[in-house]
Amino acid sequence: MPLYEYACQKCEHTFEALVFNGEKPECPECQSKKLEKLLSVPAQGKVEEGGLPMSCPPDGSPCSKPWCQRN
């Protein structure tokens, strides 16, 4: 069940829609099926101090995380 973002070419409304088995969504504002699928940008996760949550220190020392391959 992918979630896609669309822009209506008739009324320029933008919206997101769950698309099941290749069905064609329609604009919730004007019911047009003339839609442009937009490129959605993934949400950025919360970054803790020190970089990405799964990153090791840049100096090459072990980070003591369970996934660290330098331990």
Provide the domain limits for residue 31: 3-38
- 54, part of any domain: no
- 70, part of any domain: no
Beta bridge pairs of residue 3: 18
Residue 36 has pLDDT above 80, yes or no: yes
Of residues 65 and 49, more confidence is placed in 65
pTM exceeds cut of 0.75: no
- Rounded to whole angstroms, how far apart are CA atoms 56 and 64? 9
The percentage of residues in the chain with a pLDDT greater than 70, rounded to a whole number, is 55
Residue 4 has pLDDT above 80, yes or no: yes
Asked if 14 and 6 touch (Cβ cutoff 8 Å), the reply is yes
- Rounded to whole angstroms, how far apart are CA atoms 59 and 27? 52
Of residues 28 and 60, more confidence is placed in 28
H/E stretch holding 52: none
Mean pLDDT for 42-57 is 59
Residue 53 has pLDDT above 60, yes or no: no
- 15, part of any domain: yes
Tally of structural domains, the chain? 1
